[in-house]
Amino acid sequence: MVREGGDPSPSKRWPALWHDSETGINFSLSTDGLIHCWRHLRSFNGLQALTVLSGYQTCNEAGSPHSKTVGWSRVTGDDGAILFSWLYAKKHGYIAEDDPCPTRALAYIAKKHLGYTAKEGEPLPREVYRKVLNILEVEY
């Protein structure tokens, strides 16, 4: 099992987790539990970090900008980020092997593979749910 990260002391900086680092001081952990990329001036919660580690989004896409006038994290509202973060976490042992797939990740698969848009707050219809579980097992 691979563990990512660096020194958890808030005053310490360490090499970047997901891009090259010539200086070796691109990342740090703040007292509020966020990871910071000082090269791109972005902060990351756990979901955002897993989204980048999974390869689904880049540092600039997934991270929240340090300046609130520059944009936002593209993880927000992206159910694909939920799916690929969950898959990465399972593969690397961060969550239990039998952890069920999040509902929003199932909705992402239904839309991407079947063209079915899930209604908010409602479960997938039984037939769609079965197809989605099959797609999840075969393709992911």
The model's pLDDT over 22-51, given as tens digits with 9 standing for 90+, comes to 788 888 888 888 999 999 999 999 999 999
Which residues are within 8 A (CB) of 64 and not within 5 positions of it... i.e. 6 or more apart? 42, 43, 44, 48, 72, 73
Cβ atoms of 72 and 44 closer than 8 Å: no
10-19, 82-91, 101-110, 118-127: least confidently modelled range: 10-19
Which residues are within 8 A (CB) of 102 and not within 5 positions of it... i.e. 6 or more apart? 82, 83, 86
Does the pLDDT value for residue 120 go beyond 80?
yes
Task: Please give the average per-residue pLDDT across 9-14, as a whole number.
Answer: 78
Give the model's confidence band at 121: pLDDT under 50 very low, under 70 low, under 90 confident, else very high: confident
Does the pLDDT value for residue 13 go beyond 60?
yes
The pLDDT value given to residue 2: 43
Best CA proximity match to 110, nearest among 135, 91, 85: 135
Does the pLDDT value for residue 58 go beyond 70?
yes
